[in-house]
Structure 1
């Protein structure tokens, strides 16, 4: 299990605007409006598999097994509350803070206090997350965050704000998760490299600036590369003499000014047949 999946998070959200609504419509009508918001918010938490859910007057506290789910639930809550029409010109809005359950030390309720401080320090209709939590989000979710407006917020510790851009689709999140765990191991003359989400490209050629330098006159300066893209590993040729690919259980073929999706295991020859010069071939294997 990766670190993101194993990290528990806490979401604290409240509904702002009840006091103004009470003055205009009375306590009973204001209470009904807030309850309607909380019901919508709790359904959002349940839809994103909240592991613990507490409803209090004007406040909801939910716990999640990963950072992405907590932030997606908060965003959905905000959209559902925004969709409610104003009452006598007054609109209720959500404020939310999302933190790691491990933040704030061992004191009971420390994470909830931190999230509540985030909420108190920011404007209504704002979702804020601690910087520590943001580091555990998937890359596509992290891209939705932005810097808090210092003039409009009083966040008590480093935090970021969730913007209004559309969230990644389930398919995009699945693909990203797949890429994050896929690895290809590459070896050449006793040296080894790993291609993964953190290092998605490996270059080889005759020039010293490449990751793998093959000293052969048939090899171009920037000959070819292996690239992790959309969950697959591609061999792309940019050379004069082409790149030869010998995969396990298949016949050798040459790729020239094109690309090819690699299978599980094989060897690559830069400008020469693998069978003719196995000692200078680049070996690869999916981990």
Structure 2
């Protein structure tokens, strides 16, 4: 990891060794860190020379993305690059593009290379081409909490965008940053595709008054599976050991599972490509998190294809009242 540039509270003026004070320039900038995920394992598998060439090529590509979006490379150390942007919108665009260029490169796909990106917008001290201060420390901590294929930032950075409503993102809760009295609210930016029309995922507490379902019925290619308190979970993916096997290429081996928890059914995604969930007229994208299933709709693992019977699962939640009516009619 790149050194964040010294402790918090770095003075705005310091001696230059001649007894005269040297002023720092203060600027509002986005600080972005991008590093190679699991680079140690890359060295173990590929060897020092080959791994260093792969990482060097990746960092060069990240630097080109930075330049193309009006940013500036501050430094590269080991498997990480630290860059700055004067424009928040361009910084977020660059963060997403960094992931895309890495994932689209054939060489990197062979070694399953991935990066993680963390960024934060705030005031920094600029001196001799380097940057220091609280915003740098926050950005460094944010990237340390990111996982492979993630763009993490802070809610304050999202709020600084010119049109945050056009970006697909989801809140991840608060995190403690060393040296800061108050926790920082973290946000994940969804970059995997053009998701301008997607709705942010539902949380368990975002629909407080739903009646608890008695069961959930999954329909897929003529097969029906019923989940209830006696059979509370179902696992789906390409792996033949799953309860529901879906062999499409964009479906992960262990893609997702549905579970009955606290009187509600939730879908939990574990995949590379995410899962699309349709509830009525709303469309949700879930990637390595969970979503509450209610009423009825469709689940599309790996790709947005609600009309493709090879991929789309139909689900229906059966409520208590509906279940009682069905029994009375029998």
TM-score normalised by structure 1 residue count = 0.49
TM-score normalised by structure 2 residue count = 0.43
